[in-house]
Amino acid sequence: MASSSDFQQDRHSFSGSPEKWNDFELPGDTLYYRFTSDMSNTEWGYKFTVTVGHLGRFQTGFEILKQMLSEERVIPHLPLAKIWEWQVGVACRQTGHQRLKAIHLLLKIVQCSTQGDCDLTLLKPLWQLFSHMENNLCHDVAKPGILLPLHRALAELFFVTENRVTELGSLQEYLLALNTEDHLHRCTAQ
């Protein structure tokens, strides 16, 4: 299967039992497929389901928003407060690479926002995730996969955000909003 008739673009080949088949996304509005039998058995063929526009919505939205946030002349016309709120929600709900992409967009929004554009207290669930990762750092280093990039992305987000709120003169309010009373008592005791 591919997105071009010459089977050179976005090509996906499958063979064997159904367990070897994986879901995948193809850009565009056309799917090209070819079936070739090696005559090794007498199975009836293959079956696949095409779902239009369902799997690619996140990537499409990410690319559009990333491009809009990269255009300085567009930023003043964007409802950054609402986009921030949506994007924080996306970063909290998603996992894996989609969460990393959502955090990347949050970072871009923080960097281009002015005072009052973003309710930074909405970052509290991500702060808790980051704090948990910091507390378990020795365990995370041993795990392969998405944990280390996620830890780095959150560290960068909170570093840039802290610098931004320091510039705006609201660091104390920001830190109080992200932490629980119990955490603040522990820090004071230390």
Percent above pLDDT 70 for the chain: 88
Q: Contact 9/39 with Cβ under 8 angstroms?
A: no
Among 55, 54, 56, 112, which residue's Cα sits nearest to residue 83?
Answer: 112
Residue 141: its pLDDT value, please? 52
Structure tokens at 131: 């704090």
CA 109/CA 138 separation, integer angstroms: 31
Q: How far is CA 183 from CA 126, 136, 138, 175, 178, in A?
A: 15, 16, 21, 11, 10
Does residue 137 or residue 120 have the better pLDDT? 120
- Which own/partner contact pairs does 182-189 have at CB distance under 8 Å and 24+ positions apart? 183/131
pTM of the model: 0.63
Instruction: Give the tens place of pLDDT for each residue, 63-97.
Output: 889 999 999 999 989 999 999 999 999 899 888 88
